[in-house]
Amino acid sequence: MAGGSCGGGSRVKVVGQVERVDGATLSYAEFVDRFMRPNLPVVLTGLTSSWRSCHDWTLAAAADRRAPDLDFLARSFPSPLVQVADCSSREFSDQKRFEMSMREFVDHWAASSSNGDSDGSLLYLKDWHFVKEYPGYVAYTTPTFFADDWLNMYLDSHPIHRDSDIANHTNEINCADYRFVYMGPKGTWTPLHADVFRSYSWSANVCGRKLWLFLPPSQSHFVFDRNLRSSVYNINDDVSEKQFPEFNNTKWLECTQEQNEIIFVPSGWYHQVHNLEDTISINHNWFNGYNLHWVWNLLHEDYKVAKDYIEDIRDICDDFEGLCQRNLAANTGMNFYDFFVFITRFALANIVELYHIQNPKDTDFISAETANHFVYNLMSIRDVASKMVSTEAFNTENICNISEQNRSAFSDIIKILEEESFRRLLVALSKAYNYIDRGQKDCLKMKDSSQKGCLSVTCLKPDCNVVGDIISFMREIHGPMDLESWILDQLTTVECSHPLHSGRIAKHDIPITILRQKNKNHWEKWRILLKCSLHAGSLEHYRGRPPRFSLLQPFLTAECGLSIALTPHAPISKGQTVSCCNPAEMNSRSLALKHRFFSGSLTSRCVASSTAYVQAPACSSCMYSPSSSLFYPLLLSVIAMFSYRVIC
């Protein structure tokens, strides 16, 4: 029987094991730095002991194991229809699927177990939308590591599609949410695949054991044919070397997931999964600012395929782009316009929250870490929007042909801010980051935003004017270029207070335009927003420790993959020369700098050595105190990493 082998490793080359970490001792920041940002899988232990499902849904078995309580599940959750996969039958690139009642599925499972599976079929319940069907039954609590879940936050308050002819089409990739329960006997399995939208996923074993085989994204092309159209279905089969000539070059990671363990599946990792015992698992697909680019890249690649497929009818089609987008939504679960509505609303939600950082005394539970989330999110959205600008879907002609449902969903900012669905999204976003920063108990104490005029649940001001301030920059968004510009405008006007500083800090948002010489006649424009909350005085209160530029690093990472380590220098006076380490090999090029906050100019000459020198401006009107020496080494460090001509 296809897929019957659970060994996996006998047919592929396993070169390592997935790391296993105690989730109870892992911080969110550590999870981001070690696994989410670098896009690496991990098994987390110690997080499910309090889950109701781990007790209600299981029975005691031998050797401290648990087994599915099928009778309880059938009695307590009599879903009229659940989706079931026949693991012995292939249909295109997946297993054949059909629907049956929960009672029918449980009876089949019980009969198969008692008579040795006489009819030869292994049925696997997949993609059961348990949370949507039984919202009053709290079977589990999403761990903090996975709380920043934009996909399910959005679907809890918004439809994924706005066009009526697309919205009525429902299948396994076009659904109400991406929170699922999976249930199946020993021997059930899932073919080789990468997750929907190239999202992250997490999977928790309520009971049972699973064998996972993972292939890194850098090797994903090895599982495709020469035309990159067909992929390997089952790595335990005799894979045709003629059809898949590079498959034997694959190198896999392996993992046996035990009961009560959670596995984090990163974006773009192909994987195949086998149930080694009767197993129940809880699974979420999700994405956020850290893998948003994966979603866009998939949409863009699938769009090109959909477009090429019907290119020969372009001349006779009244709305060729609209047809491409409808096909993309049907095949991938989302199209460009769905995605643009999605990122526009998340940009607006993050801007509303970031706005309140300007006045910490008027805001509840805003921390530097939370601010860092909002800034990083906005930069990720801006980066994706910049890639969308050049697509055919958003040229002048096609923007004019966008349906009114889609246009109104992203264009009218005032209307969006007034929508109850957007208010619900904003509440969910606020609660998620409060949950991440403070934990579940504090999260439950949050106020209902509908009790006051301000949209944010964190705001303490009864007369907050966040809406007025936001729309003062832009009232309508007509496409990705507007969104990109709007995010930059909003970020460059937010006042931030750094947690290591005392007192109120003035606005220190520094837009720097870097012109990179690619050749003699062509310059590429870059923008880096350095959000530095610099204390306008000495560095004594740092007590000898380097400052934490928590708001700076996301910009440098998002824009150029740059990571800077800073060391504080002694305070300087007007006209005093200071030095800083030059982290890159420099030449004798002169760098001229001028900033809008300086009445004079700041000039530096980089010499052919490891040290660069900067002259502090001798001006009394400079917004930055001359004793704030940290700004100058920081700026030179950024510039030195490039060897560019810089014009501020």
pLDDT digits (tens, 9 = 90+) for 166-191: 766 555 445 789 999 999 999 999 99
Q: Residue 274: name the closest of 516, 6, 32 by CA.
A: 6
pLDDT at 411: 93
Instruction: List, for residues 10-65, the tens digit of each pLDDT value.
Output: 589 999 999 999 999 999 999 999 999 999 999 999 999 999 999 999 999 998 89
Other beta carbons within 10 angstroms of residue 319's beta carbon come to: 11
Higher pLDDT, 203 or 8: 203
Query: Could you give the percent of the chain with pLDDT greater than 70?
Result: 67
**pLDDT, average across residues 441-453:** 45
Per-residue DSSP letters for 152-181? HHHHTTS-S--SHHHHT--BTTB-S-SEEE
pLDDT confidence bin for 493, thresholds 50/70/90 = low
How far apart (Å, rounded) are the C-alpha atoms in residues 408 and 369? 33
Question: How remote is the C-alpha of 112 from its chain's centroid?
Answer: 41
Please list, in sequence order, all residues whose beta carbon lies within 8 angstroms of the beta carbon of residue 451, skipping any fewer than 6 positions away: none
Instruction: Give yes or no for residue 371 having a pLDDT over 60.
Output: yes
86, exposed or middle or buried, with CB in 10 Å at 0-12, 13-18, 19+?
middle
**pLDDT, average across residues 366-395:** 89
Residue 435 DSSP SS3: helix
pLDDT at 443: 43
Decide: 123 and 86 in contact? Cβ < 8 Å.
yes
Type of residue numbered 608: A
pTM (whole model) above 0.75: yes
Instruction: Give yes or no for residue 545 having a pLDDT over 50.
Output: no
pLDDT confidence bin for 121, thresholds 50/70/90 = confident
Instruction: Give yes or no for residue 151 having a pLDDT over 70.
Output: yes
Q: Residue 351: name the closest of 451, 489, 513, 463 by CA.
A: 489
pLDDT at 647: 26
Instruction: Give yes or no for residue 537 having a pLDDT over 60.
Output: no
Average pLDDT of the chain, as a whole number: 76
Other beta carbons within 10 angstroms of residue 273's beta carbon come to: 24
How far apart (Å, rounded) are the C-alpha atoms in residues 285 and 215? 18
Query: Could you give the percent of the chain with pLDDT greater than 90?
Result: 56
pLDDT at 116: 64
Instruction: Give yes or no for residue 201 having a pLDDT over 90.
Output: yes
Provide the strand spans (E) within 470-576.
509-519, 522-531
Decide: 373 and 148 in contact? Cβ < 8 Å.
yes
pLDDT at 174: 52
**pLDDT, average across residues 227-245:** 95
pLDDT at 497: 36
pLDDT at 335: 97
pLDDT at 167: 65
**pLDDT, average across residues 86-107:** 95
Tokens representing 55 are 């007790």
**pLDDT, average across residues 601-608:** 28
For tokens 């648990």, name the residue. 66
Q: What is the DSSP letter of 459?
A: B
Q: Residue 199: name the closest of 262, 274, 265 by CA.
A: 265
Question: How remote is the C-alpha of 242 from its chain's centroid?
Answer: 37
pLDDT confidence bin for 536, thresholds 50/70/90 = very low
Instruction: Give yes or no for residue 445 having a pLDDT over 80.
Output: no
Instruction: Give yes or no for residue 511 having a pLDDT over 90.
Output: no
* Domains of the chain: residue spans and CATH: 14-146+178-287 (2.60.120.650), 293-501 (no CATH)
Instruction: List, for residues 156-170, the tens digit of each pLDDT value.
Output: 999 999 987 776 655
pLDDT at 472: 75
Decide: 328 and 306 in contact? Cβ < 8 Å.
yes
Higher pLDDT, 143 or 112: 143
- Using CA atoms, how far residue 320 sits from 220, 394, 402, 456, 480, in Å, is 31, 13, 12, 41, 20
Instruction: Give yes or no for residue 280 having a pLDDT over 60.
Output: yes
pLDDT confidence bin for 331, thresholds 50/70/90 = very high
Decide: 497 and 504 in contact? Cβ < 8 Å.
yes
Instruction: List, for residues 628-644, the tens digit of each pLDDT value.
Output: 333 333 343 333 333 22
Decide: 291 and 200 in contact? Cβ < 8 Å.
yes
Lowest mean pLDDT segment, chosen from 104-118, 338-352, 474-488: 104-118
Give the helix ranges, DSSP H, for 411-509. 413-418, 420-438, 440-443, 466-471, 480-491
